[in-house]
């Protein structure tokens, strides 16, 4: 039953954002009805990304000249960098009979469950997709659905330099606070977060995880 498999590809080092963007597009363009769904787990070098409707005015300053890339995902501006784990979901929504709202709920619940495993109480905020601990955002999501196929996914701040978030209105929200897992759970490792996310996501999607 190939349709019940979620193939996980963990990419070593740092993956260039533009290359990942091109790879996701190519993957979905070449999909066949029996193509297995994939989850790409990776980190990006420092980069600001703007969603399709993203406004440059939400980039308040850029003294280090961090690259700014226009993406084809939804949402406004965000920051990616080392120590933030990216989970790119390449799913056939029609196969799983998932609506976009159901997928968003699944992603958010995955992160909430993962954080709860580490005794971190997280929650949603109505009208502001993502996951929050107290009043600070710890995980962001942005998707692109085309011909029933999903690409992009979600990011979790684990153990990173948070300074660049102060240079933007994260996700388009002025003065939005951001946080990371290590501020709430000392000694957390990226490996532990990845392992728990895969467990929670596979349970919610009812898919068997296999390493690619």
Q: What is residue 117's predicted lDDT score, i.e. its pLDDT?
A: 98
pLDDT in tens, 8-58: 999 999 999 999 999 999 999 999 989 999 999 999 999 999 999 889 999
Judge whether residue 137 has pLDDT over 80.
Answer: yes
Residue with tokens 């280090």: 64
pLDDT in tens, 160-199: 999 999 999 998 888 899 999 999 999 999 999 999 999 9
Q: What is residue 141's predicted lDDT score, i.e. its pLDDT?
A: 96
User: Which member of 112, 171, 197, 198 is catalytic?
Assistant: 171
Q: What is the pLDDT averaged over residues 133-161?
A: 97
Q: What is residue 2's predicted lDDT score, i.e. its pLDDT?
A: 46
pLDDT in tens, 71-126: 999 889 999 999 999 999 999 999 999 999 999 999 999 999 999 999 999 999 98
Q: Report whether 86 contacts 47 (CB < 8 A).
A: no
pLDDT in tens, 143-154: 999 999 999 999
* Residue 171 annotated to the active site: yes
Q: What is the pLDDT averaged over residues 196-209?
A: 95
Burial class of residue 11 (count of CB atoms within 10 Å of its CB; 0-12, 13-18, 19+): middle
The closest alpha carbon to 121, from 59, 129, 113, 200, belongs to 113
Rounded to an integer, what is the distance from CA 65 to the centroid of its chain?
Answer: 23
Domains of the chain: 2-211 (3.30.930.10)
């Amino acid at each position: 039953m190939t349709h019940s498999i979620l193939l996980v590809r963990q990419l070593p080092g740092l993956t260039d954002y533009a290359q990942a963007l091109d790879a996701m597009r190519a993957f979905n363009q070449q999909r066949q009805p029996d193509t297995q769904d994939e989850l790409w787990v990776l980190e990006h070098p420092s980069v600001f990304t703007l969603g399709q409707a993203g406004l440059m005015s939400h980039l308040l300053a850029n003294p280090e000249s961090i690259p700014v890339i226009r993406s084809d995902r939804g949402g406004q501006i965000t920051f990616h960098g080392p120590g933030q784990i990216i989970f790119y979901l390449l799913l056939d929504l029609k196969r799983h009979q998932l609506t976009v709202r159901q997928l968003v709920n699944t992603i958010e619940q995955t992160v909430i469950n993962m954080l709860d495993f580490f005794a971190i109480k997280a929650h949603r905020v109505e009208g502001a997709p993502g996951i929050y601990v107290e009043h600070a955002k710890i995980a962001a999501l942005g998707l692109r659905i085309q011909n029933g196929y999903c690409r992009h996914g979600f990011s979790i701040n684990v153990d990173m330099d948070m300074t660049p978030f102060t240079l933007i209105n994260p996700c388009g929200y002025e003065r939005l606070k951001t946080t990371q897992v290590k501020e709430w759970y000392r000694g957390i490792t990226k490996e532990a977060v990845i392992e728990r996310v895969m467990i929670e996501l596979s349970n919610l999607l009812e898919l068997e995880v296999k390493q690619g």
